Amino acid sequence: MKDLQPISLEGINPNKPLIIAGPCSAETEEQVMTTARELASNGIKIFRAGIWKPRTKPGGFEGVGVEGLNWLKRVKEETGMYVSTEVATRQHVEAALAAGIDILWIGARTSANPFAMQEIADALAEAKATCPVFVKNPVNPDIDLWIGAMQRIYNAGIRCIGAIHRGFSAYGKHLYRNMPQWHIPIELRRRLPNLPIICDPSHIGGKRELVAPISQQAYDMGFNGLIIESHCDPDCAWSDKSQQITPDVLNFIINTLVLRDTTLTTENLALLRQQIDELDNELIEVLNKRMRVCREIGMFKKEHRMPVVQATRYGDIMQSRVQLAKEMGMSGEFMSTVLSAIHEESVRQQIEIVNDRQL
């Protein structure tokens, strides 16, 4: 994907973050128009609305379908905003292009499916489409699947491609609706430096109050923009109501976000980075020492025919270290994630020793 082009749209400053906003779903013509007018009066230039909604279970609101494309056309005519929608099949692509939709995006369930991606890519190629296409990360944290999805769009002749980071599914209850796993979009930036990456804090957080902090984090990490769900009456939204915000709240958030100059590498920053490098080296050395001691314990257990894992010992370690971390001002959840990764590796190494007949 060598000659990717920046997302340049007339009337939109390419040096500022790209902001896309609008409801999760187009519900009624009135809801679409009211939301669009309010967003436009707050200076939003690109409108989003889902026309076809991929729902987890059947029976929910699955989108208004092609009828909604006429409402988006009206948004374009009356407010001058660019309009964007999600496409998941060949028919969606054909209908959206025929209706003059300016920007298409591909959802997280679709980008996880190479057959669907190829079908969309073929439809774009046949239509000789040149519009910008955004590809959300697949629901599962697989960077190659994400890149592969974008490659199919690229091979269809599209050069204005953007990635949307919307977080990754995880089993169970968490603070986030979809885990951000920030290292994945950061790795994407490293592999494809020319690819614009925007963040979708609405689907990552799943809650209104998380939209601002996640957006700020995305800015701090050098993302190129945001796609945020905004609805004229969020409490009455037909989908994703707990994460939608009014156009006025959105305006407030955008104005309070701090844009940092990510290209500026001050002397102080260089020094801090040097410290991080040194600390990481120390961390690796300490971990290596710990593993060495673990292997010695493994040999002892082998000699004395003891089981490798002693649950009470593990429980004690967890409890005391998490407590210590908390006292030092760190998150207990973070410490238990780190410890369980270390413990898993220690157990693996001890099992190797216990099973090694040479010893």
List residues binding Mn ion (CB under 5 A).
24, 240
Alpha helices by DSSP H, listed for 257-331, are 267-303, 311-327
Q: How far is CA 97 from the centre of its chain?
A: 26
Phi, psi of 246 (to 5 degrees): -70, 160
Residue 92 in contact with ligand PEP, rule: CB under 6 A: no
* Residue ranges of E strands in the chain: 18-22, 46-48, 82-86, 103-106, 133-136, 161-165, 197-199, 225-229
Interatomic CA distance for residues 184 and 168, integer angstroms: 10
| Contacted entry of Mn ion, ligand PEP, none for residue 201, CB cut-off 5 to 8 Å set by kind | none
By C-alpha distance, which of 315, 135, 85 is closest to 323? Answer: 315
Interatomic CA distance for residues 84 and 172, integer angstroms: 32
Q: How far is the CB of 42 from ligand PEP (least distance, A)?
A: 20
Phi, psi of 194 (to 5 degrees): -90, -5
**Triad 37, 107, 121: Cα angle to 5°:** 110
User: Quick one: 121 or 308, whose CB is closer to ligand PEP?
Assistant: 121
Scan residues 304-323 and list those touching ligand PEP (CB under 6 A).
none
The amino acid sitting at 14 is P
Number of residues that bind ligand PEP (CB under 6 A): 8
Token readout for 118 is 């190829």
Q: How far is the CB of 173 from ligand PEP (least distance, A)?
A: 18
| Contacted entry of ligand PEP, Mn ion, none for residue 108, CB cut-off 5 to 8 Å set by kind | ligand PEP
Q: Which residue is nearest to ligand PEP (CB)?
A: 107
The amino acid sitting at 190 is R
Scan residues 121-150 and list those touching ligand PEP (CB under 6 A).
136
Q: How far is the CB of 118 from ligand PEP (least distance, A)?
A: 18
Q: How far is the CB of 166 from ligand PEP (least distance, A)?
A: 4
Q: Which residue is nearest to Mn ion (CB)?
A: 24
Scan residues 6-25 and list those touching ligand PEP (CB under 6 A).
24
Residue 107 in contact with ligand PEP, rule: CB under 6 A: yes
Residue 72 in contact with ligand PEP, rule: CB under 6 A: no
User: Quick one: 84 or 251, whose CB is closer to ligand PEP?
Assistant: 84
Interatomic CA distance for residues 20 and 334, integer angstroms: 32
Scan residues 213-272 and list those touching ligand PEP (CB under 6 A).
none
Residues β-bridged to residue 165: 199
Whether 136 and 160 have beta carbons less than 8 Å apart is answered as no
| Contacted entry of Mn ion, ligand PEP, none for residue 107, CB cut-off 5 to 8 Å set by kind | ligand PEP
Q: How far is the CB of 222 from Mn ion (least distance, A)?
A: 25
User: What would the x/- binding string for ligand PEP be over residues 149 to 178, using CB under 6 A?
Assistant: -----------------x------------
Instruction: Report the interface residues with ligand PEP, using CB under 6 A.
Output: 24, 50, 54, 107-108, 136, 166, 203
